[in-house]
Amino acid sequence: MTKDARRLEARREWALARPIGQGQRLVAVEQSIVVILTRLGKAKS
């Protein structure tokens, strides 16, 4: 593999990983919201 080919490969992996990372972040936010809501629900009852 040449340097350029390796650089392109790394860039493509990085580009593919970015949306996945953003999706995981969204899932984590949603999970934390659910946890907070369930705690509030338990506190009310």
Give the distance from CA 11 to its chain's centroid. Answer: 18
Domain encompassing residue 38:
1-45
1-45 pLDDT, tens digit each: 689 989 988 888 887 777 777 778 888 899 999 999 999 999 877
Q: What is the domain count for the chain?
A: 1
Q: Give me the pLDDT at residue 33, please.
A: 93
Identify the three-state secondary structure at position 9: helix
Q: Which residues lie below 8 Å from residue 9, measured CB to CB, with a gap of 6+?
A: 1
pTM attached to this predicted model? 0.45
Question: How many Å apart are CA 41 and CA 45, to the nearest integer?
Answer: 6
By C-alpha distance, which of 10, 29, 35, 32 is closest to 43? 35
d(Cα 5, Cα 39) in Å, to the nearest integer? 51
